[in-house]
Structure 1
């Protein structure tokens, strides 16, 4: 055989080898992943042949399948649509399972999970109709409704947690959307709805509670700075701090001012407790620089900043920037510069204080059951970290009670109930109103609920927005819903 033929035969052999390897990869190595893709139409056709499991809140379905007369046999419906959209997500023949529990627990709901293998075998042998598993959520229906009503037409998010377990009691993101427009069997209307939703500049399909473009936390982050100060052993809640009208910063000619341009106390001094009550920027800017960047970042990390969480939807990690110089550290200590958080993270910080310093891993699924109510999975509370000591948590609780009783958070007061909280007003873009924040827990000494609220661009208050005015009343209504006031 001459040289050209030998080279040609080698090329052909290599091509056949590549084809063999590729087909082997597809048929054996990648087969399961390809089959489980939510947009795999063959898989979708197979799953539409059986009833999809329900998503339940308090025993009532917020997502269920009803029989249809077309070839798909089942139509996915969402009885309370927009109220639970970011909790349920959507299930569409055109676009698959996306967002929320529909996406995160698709294999259980569709019945294809390995956890349901023996159930599928039994169904086949007995001739019983195959169905997916039902997923019961930790959501408190009254708290969810209160969060929805409180936000109204404003953009933002509300998260409520049970501090002792980490259960998610409310998760609302605004604006919302109706998942039913994507579950229709009318392909043309689904495609139009999909394009309209994705073209909407307000991004209604983004879950602002756990993802999207994260927010600067503003003065709610002073809880973290206070925790770092108390944990350092150098400060108590009665320690005097500098609190001038504006704080001169090194490396820059731009000072850090208080919102009202006034000193925080007589002789430009203020206690740590009072500084938190009135949200004194200069005191906390000084405190951040005194503690140092390492201690500040370490304390934030203990509260869960930077952790990759799944509730089971993936949560975008919150972050504190690295390599902070002194002015950046002062700004970060008051929740500005490049500190970015999810509302879930802020709720976790408040919940940790309420729970004697222990951060519980947040979770949304209470129980998974088969069609005959056999429990397939039942997640248990899990400790994520010890953010601060019980003594520090007690001091922070007293300080946060002062915020609600005598400081910037009086709008969150509940008659007959001690409430601990912290306001925040976060500058985020030049020329735009600030975001309004409030985080809290109640009852202060035996907390049943911790809440975080953010209202984008000050909501209806615009440039006049402040966390205590705009966000605190929303948090109050959610707390009242949980504790029964």
Structure 2
């Protein structure tokens, strides 16, 4: 009698036990899911305060210039909650490169190389476990202090927004990268919520966009600097050379339209014929528009894409917005695109890359900002090695383009303001359409010394007007700083 009753009593107990077992299994499964599969999402959730606090628990790696100058570092904080804060000794001078690291987000190199700087990169984490340290890795940049200062001061002297990029054409190392207006990243180092919020709202609401790195995050009409690409396509066709005569009409009717293109260079481009080199030196528009029509859209597009237009694969390590060569639907549009108009857009970095390609015999090296990565004990775990990015054309074509570009900075050329005593500077200037009723943008690209190039420069001054008048002096200052610095 007892056994049957016990069995009757155990039936509900068994049901309870099975239910508890199922609940326990569901709990364990959920914990496993959260820890193994969903941990990254939870860690990145802005409401996760523990993760945010942990990011300030240990010092991030430093960011140095190539001569060892510190431009970003971590210091002990007075905050009870956050142990370390980020400081930027260079302030606005290097802000477009370093970016900032704060409670309100991260930008620039601080974002692009966060894994290394924070110590979360596996190579850094393993060494940290062995050495008992949680410090992040140090980045040593390719930036040249003198070139960076010259670019910043030169651009600031114009009183206008813009950007400057300088590259060593032999290696792709970025020697200077400036964007104005800039900002002081130390404003983001505060742990005072109200103060930080005010600074962030002010900077993000500023119509001048000081948080934007104009060198790589914004593109502009290319203007006459694109004539280097058009000239490269003309030389590659075999039908043209620097001494070949081209038609230089004072005005040109764009095919299929009632619109006439009139040259703004006046007497220098007043009609008749001139050697291609002469038309390039004076930056005449009508002969290059005719060249574009004769070469055709496919030839121009092929050459532009060889330089890196219309690609998204460039990281320095920050991502770079694409430079654009738009579809040419008719001859009129092709004519204007040959002049850097009709939707052709470039970043200041691309402008410097175009000049660097000519300087390096047609071989474009991959641009980069980080020279090496070091652990806290100074062990190098990563070192940048010069690597080809694109073979654009051959050495012979580069030599002919160099001769044409050198003429631009000689008497009678549009870039004489970039000339240096005893140094042959190769260049092209430009002015590009801005918004209606506003002054054109001023552009310049070039390299020096022409015979043994050591620096290539791209300059954009928004609303600056003529590139030869406004942008060229900025480029000259940067080139001089690099050459003097390397001579010392």
TM-score (norm 1): 0.90
Query: What is the aligned counterpart of 2:76 among 56, 67, 81?
Result: 67
Residue 99 of structure 1: how far off its partner (Å):
2.0
Residues in 2 aligned to 1:24 and 1:317: alpha-carbon distance in whole angstroms: 42
Aligned to 1:271: 275
Distance 1:238 1:46, change over 3 A: same
Note the 1:328-367 alignment, pairs <5 A. Answer: 328-367=333-372
Aligned to 1:479: 479
Is contact 2:135-2:376 (8 Å) kept? yes
1:289 aligns to what SS in structure 2?
helix
Residue 70 of structure 1: how far off its partner (Å):
1.7
Query: What is the aligned counterpart of 1:95 among 93, 104, 126?
Result: 104
Query: What is the aligned counterpart of 1:43 among 29, 38, 51?
Result: 51
Residues in 2 aligned to 1:177 and 1:73: alpha-carbon distance in whole angstroms: 25
Q: State whether structure 2 residue 447 is matched by structure 1 residue 437.
A: no
- Structure 1 residue runs of 5 or longer lacking an equivalent are 1-17, 459-464
Q: State whether structure 2 residue 158 is matched by structure 1 residue 149.
A: no
Distance 1:245 1:68, change over 3 A: same
Distance 1:133 1:271, change over 3 A: same
Query: What is the aligned counterpart of 1:314 among 319, 340, 351?
Result: 319
Q: State whether structure 2 residue 188 is matched by structure 1 residue 179.
A: no
Residue 171 of structure 1: how far off its partner (Å):
0.4
What do the CA deviations read for 1:206-238 (whole angstroms, capped 9, x no partner)?
Answer: 0100013x1001100100000000011111111
Is contact 2:427-2:444 (8 Å) kept? yes
Aligned to 1:448: 454
Residues in 1 aligned to 2:87 and 2:171: alpha-carbon distance in whole angstroms: 31
Residue 428 of structure 1: how far off its partner (Å):
2.3
Is contact 1:243-1:263 (8 Å) kept? no
Query: What is the aligned counterpart of 1:132 among 136, 149, 155?
Result: 136
Note the 1:258-297 alignment, pairs <5 A. Answer: 258-262=263-267, 264=269, 268-297=272-301
Is contact 1:245-1:262 (8 Å) kept? no
Residues in 1 aligned to 2:126 and 2:35: alpha-carbon distance in whole angstroms: 24
1:314 aligns to what SS in structure 2?
coil
Residues in 1 aligned to 2:239 and 2:27: alpha-carbon distance in whole angstroms: 68
Residue 22 of structure 1: how far off its partner (Å):
8.9
Residues in 2 aligned to 1:254 and 1:329: alpha-carbon distance in whole angstroms: 14
Q: State whether structure 2 residue 158 is matched by structure 1 residue 163.
A: no
Is contact 1:270-1:283 (8 Å) kept? no
Aligned to 1:79: 89
Is contact 1:409-1:468 (8 Å) kept? yes
Is contact 1:220-1:422 (8 Å) kept? yes
Is contact 1:90-1:182 (8 Å) kept? yes
What do the CA deviations read for 1:242-274 (whole angstroms, capped 9, x no partner)?
Answer: 111111111111111111355626x61121111
> Which shifted more, 252-261 or 370-379?
252-261
Q: State whether structure 2 residue 60 is matched by structure 1 residue 56.
A: no
Q: State whether structure 2 residue 241 is matched by structure 1 residue 255.
A: no
- What is the aligned residue count? 455
Distance 1:34 1:472, change over 3 A: farther
Query: What is the aligned counterpart of 2:212 among 176, 197, 206?
Result: 206
Aligned to 1:219: 224
Aligned to 2:129: 121
Is contact 2:252-2:262 (8 Å) kept? yes
Residues in 2 aligned to 1:231 and 1:110: alpha-carbon distance in whole angstroms: 48
Aligned to 1:107: 115
What do the CA deviations read for 1:287-324 (whole angstroms, capped 9, x no partner)?
Answer: 01110101101100111112221100000010100143
Residues in 1 aligned to 2:48 and 2:382: alpha-carbon distance in whole angstroms: 26
TM-score (norm 2): 0.89
Query: Considering only CA atoms, is the larger Rg found in Structure 1 or Structure 2?
Result: 2
Residue 474 of structure 1: how far off its partner (Å):
0.3
Aligned to 1:10: none
- Structure 2 residue runs of 5 or longer lacking an equivalent are 1-25
What is the RMSD computed on CA atoms of the aligned residues?
Answer: 2.1
Q: State whether structure 2 residue 411 is matched by structure 1 residue 402.
A: no
